Structure 1
């Protein structure tokens, strides 16, 4: 697979920003990233966002006062990030550096900030596009400092049959039960991960899971714009209430895991 397996669907991805599914994902993940940062000692942190795309999460982290490197193989998505960054106050712009390149080369591409490792490394919505994620996981682990955290957002393989079931696609329900691959909303054949599988893959790199949440338990099958006002608050409140609770997080569309290096 190429360094840009996501490239054929980039425009479809951008077209989906702002939908109810995107709003739920970005809102909950942002709150969960803040919860991860709260596990670290107070003060500004060094953060690397691998596969940062249009920069939704990286920009929010920079607004919190942290230094951020955004790494992505897509010049087009980084241009979108750069355009949004240009509208930020100088103090936020100065905390962000954007780099074009694959995440597997993060130790070489992250620059001076990589010296000594990052306090928090984000890799959200990337692993599902890789046929072999071992090089990526090794690269991510290599740039997490001792005591630092790795945040992964993946398609939840534990509840892979939920979306086709909610959509009434009964054939795909059986396919989901039989394996770890699925066709995503962008039309790409991709793979899911389980918390236990990622635990096993990261243990040899000295990383142990600290937290995990489900994202989009109730809304993964919904399209279109989000509700407004109080209705949106209620929707987000319901998703937020079950994000860290079994069995609901086990059937969420996405799994958000935070692993720590000793």
Structure 2
């Protein structure tokens, strides 16, 4: 296993997700007795999560519909000296592409917003997991969409995002749907998962002007620490740009 010298990527926007993933990987390693875990990144794109996970010594497969993203994934993995398998497909194809019950962890980050059948998609994810395996879900939050539209001066669109059942702010909204913490938890529960705590991701990171972080010594680290403090806050969580939950297959 190649964990030595490999740490969580420092990106402010993903720091709290990595905190949760590393803790879950430690749990899975302990319960399975295996250091090398089998991980599937559904919609993993160019490997922002997959390649660091491979650097940690795990076996990682990325399933993504874009051949360009998979080509970029291959280049990134090669630059880091690790192997990551890339398969072209989407969530609806998982059962055809991968073995049933062959994964310890599935990442489903920023994809549920776009699938036609979220319940079918999460049912397919559950089928990939071994008993006790986990899914990491990251999804856009409608409350944050309203907040960001309001801060941009688009007050009617902010109101629309709050009222719309899918959390959309208008016909030009590129995101087909967003999830509240309750909706995300319900989706996971009805597809056979034991749902853990929902955490906020990018509570402050998307609100703080970059000039206050870039080039200021220690500013990025301080913002990460603030995000870590806010991620589980009962009020601040619900204004985060994204919501993250780890759920386990029973």
Offset at residue 134 of structure 1 (A): 2.2
Match of 2:120 in 1: 135
1:220 maps onto 2:212 in alignment: no
Report how many residues are paired: 233
Contact 1:183/1:190 (8 A) holds in 2: no
Contact 1:48/1:68 (8 A) holds in 2: yes
Give the TM-score normalised by structure 1. Answer: 0.81
Deviation >6 Å, runs of 4+: none
In structure 1, how many angstroms separate the alpha carbons of the residues matched to 2:210 and 2:72?
22
Please say which of residues 226-235 and 60-69 is displaced more in the overlay: 226-235
Match of 1:257 in 2: 245
Compared CA separation, residues 223 and 101, structure 1 to 2 (3 A)? farther
Provide Cα deviations, 1:140-179, integer angstroms capped at 9, x if missing partner. Answer: 1111211000111001235442222333321221111101
Offset at residue 44 of structure 1 (A): 1.8
Compared CA separation, residues 107 and 223, structure 1 to 2 (3 A)? farther
Contact 2:136/2:247 (8 A) holds in 1: yes
In structure 2, how many angstroms separate the alpha carbons of the residues matched to 1:35 and 1:212?
15
In structure 1, how many angstroms separate the alpha carbons of the residues matched to 2:25 and 2:141?
23
1:100 maps onto 2:88 in alignment: yes
Which structure carries more relative contact order (alpha carbon 8 Å, separation 6+)? 1
Provide Cα deviations, 1:227-258, integer angstroms capped at 9, x if missing partner. Answer: 24411111111112111221111111100111
Contact 1:199/1:208 (8 A) holds in 2: no
Provide Cα deviations, 1:185-239, integer angstroms capped at 9, x if missing partner. Answer: x961421012322322232332011232111111224576852441111111111
Provide Cα deviations, 1:23-76, integer angstroms capped at 9, x if missing partner. Answer: 432333222221222332332211000000011011111111111111100000
Match of 2:234 in 1: 246
5 Å matches for 1:137-216? 137-179=122-164, 180-182=166-168, 188-216=174-202
Compared CA separation, residues 223 and 133, structure 1 to 2 (3 A)? farther
Give the TM-score normalised by structure 2. Answer: 0.84
1:24 maps onto 2:12 in alignment: yes
RMSD: 2.3
In structure 1, how many angstroms separate the alpha carbons of the residues matched to 2:94 and 2:156?
39
Contact 2:130/2:249 (8 A) holds in 1: yes
Contact 2:141/2:242 (8 A) holds in 1: yes
1:126 maps onto 2:114 in alignment: no
In structure 1, how many angstroms separate the alpha carbons of the residues matched to 2:203 and 2:157?
18
